[in-house]
Amino acid sequence: MRKIINSPDNVVSEMMEGYISAYGRYYEKHPKVNGVILKQRRKDKVALVIGGGSGHEPMFSGFVGKGLADAAACGNIFASPDPNTVYETAKAVDQGRGVIFVYGCYAGDNLNFDMGEEFLNEDGIATTHVRVWDDVVSAPKERIEDRRGIAGDVFVVKIAGAACDAGLSLEEVTRVTEKARNNTKTIGVATAPAQLPGIDKPIFELPDGEIEYGMGLHGERGVLRTAWQDADVLVEKMYAQIMEDADLTAGDEVCVLVNGLGSTTITELAIAYRKVKKLLDKDGIKVHDTDLNSFCTSQEMGGFSITLFKLDEELKEYYDMPCYCPFYAKGELTGAGLSEQEEDMPADEEPEFDEKDTKSAKITRSKEGVLTELNAADVRNMLIYIADKIIAKKPYLTEIDSAIGDGDHGIGMAGGMQKVKRKLLEMKAEENVYALFEAAGKAMLLSMGGASGVIFGSLYLAGAKGMEPKSVLTAEDVSEMEKKSLEAIKARGKAEPGDKTMVDALAPAVEAMEQGSGISLLEMLKAAEAAAAQGVEDTKKYQAKFGRAKSLMERAIGYQDAGATSVWLILQGMREFVEGSKE
């Protein structure tokens, strides 16, 4: 598929540059990170910050506006913004009354926004968050907090923006926004797959005559593949499933959104709404307002979603308040009179992964043969060697992740390791082995986005953080570091063995290290590598409890986890460096 882009590595930065240039009368870009900031914000109020991966335009950056969000923290394509982007964007719009974050309920967003909140709280800025989980088919009702956020984001952001502009306290804004979230129900279907910029095949294959039922916003596969159906038949099935989940009865009032996923026409959306309206009329449910548009997209995916937003008198008051942004408006079209200002555009930002920077570094070791311990120079070179290894494995990791995810793990890991490599190449004089691991972890944490940024950043950072400086790393030190990292990752991500995550490789590797107490560094790493490899193989037997594959349930069985694969490759790299058998 041909996309209207230059280099796939610069898609987000060039999109951001063009977007701010086109709408510079309303917006400015944060000077340090990919944050879109509303210029003329109402003063003395709670700040609303939204965000998520790019590739869903106009959501999220296109919902910054008067009566809507004050700012949006934007990640790479289909990947959450990193904690630093969340932190810097929110800090720029805080007015002393606190910040509320609204975003879709995905593992990467949850982890990165949580950490961004922690950074803000350390600065004395009060925060809350509302995770949108409107997708009724992505988890059963008793596990509603595991549901995904899809097109229902539109209604939740609208209400949150109005509540903030009304001058409510942070506590009250949160209450109203949670009520809006809990009253929003969505279901979507896909008729054609999406394709990520720079990837030579679609996220999934969809044969002619079939549709994916229960499609998510990131292009991940639905919960069921069915035969093609006429619009009325399909809408009736979708409507019935929403009504089964929603608390709607005759006399209730709703807003309706029929949302296109990227390549669906208004003609098709209108035909779908025609049937929705007939079904609502039959059930005695009133329609207060309707939108037929593509607000939450997934690149050029074909298909649509139906969202019903139940109103009460309080929610209707906030819904009817005017708002304006270039892609969405309600009430009086405010904003048309804003003064134009020419802003200097920031310099081009560094791409997530630079295809021109893939040359392997020259790796040296402190001695020939097997290493029995690692000095600071060895640690630095080992981490650079691992970075080069992961960069070289980018296509392999992309292929694995594309099977049940959205295909971004390879480029995310390679991009993060590229930042690690650059940082470590600057640290030739560092003598503290733990400082090198910390620097590597922070480089990943603050650059990768997605769940991988937090989790794999913690793999290096958490084990080294707070350790007394040392010039040499022994087998026991490595074992202790990996144990601390595992504990931190489990605490942060809540994953356990069997959940089809990187923990499935790391946990048995750590156990093998502990059982190998007293053996050589090489033998310990061999045992850890073997245990991790078996852990990767075991992930094929599991349903996913986290990430994009979670909603696939048993359809995820048979595929290995990309995060676990990366853990195995990292441990393999450590073993190869120590053994002197580098690729």
- Across 96-106, average pLDDT: 97
pLDDT digits (tens, 9 = 90+) for 159-217: 999 999 999 999 999 999 999 999 999 999 999 888 888 888 887 788 888 888 887 77
Within the chain, all domains assigned CATH 1.25.40.340 are found at: 374-579
On the question of a cis peptide bond just before residue 197, with omega within 30 degrees of 0, the verdict is no
Which one of the listed residues 30, 218, 288, 409 is annotated catalytic? 218
Q: Which two tokens stand for residue 497?
A: 């063995």
Within the chain, all domains assigned CATH 3.40.50.10440 are found at: 8-321
pLDDT digits (tens, 9 = 90+) for 313-353: 999 999 999 999 999 999 854 333 333 333 333 334 455 66
Q: What is the pLDDT of residue 219?
A: 62
User: How far from each other are the two terminal CA atoms of the chain, in whole angstroms?
Assistant: 34
Give me the residue label for tokens 């720079």.
198
DSSP-derived pairing of the beta strands 127-132 and 99-104: parallel
**Rounded Cα–Cα distance for residues 478 and 512 (Å):** 12
**Rounded Cα–Cα distance for residues 497 and 456 (Å):** 16
pLDDT band at 128 (very low <50, low <70, confident <90, very high): very high
Nearest to 87 by CA among 134, 136, 30: 30
Cβ(575)–Cβ(525) below 8 Å: yes
User: What is the amino acid identity at position 32?
Assistant: K
Does the pLDDT value for residue 493 go beyond 60?
yes
Q: Which two tokens stand for residue 428?
A: 């030739």
Name the CATH topology of 8-321: Rossmann fold (3.40.50)
On the question of a cis peptide bond just before residue 577, with omega within 30 degrees of 0, the verdict is no
**In the annotation, is 218 catalytic?**
yes
User: What is the amino acid identity at position 472?
Assistant: V
Q: What is the pLDDT of residue 340?
A: 38
Q: Which two tokens stand for residue 232?
A: 């009325």
In the CATH scheme, what architecture does the domain 374-579 have?
A: Alpha Horseshoe (1.25)
42: DSSP letter: P
Q: What is the pLDDT of residue 347?
A: 37
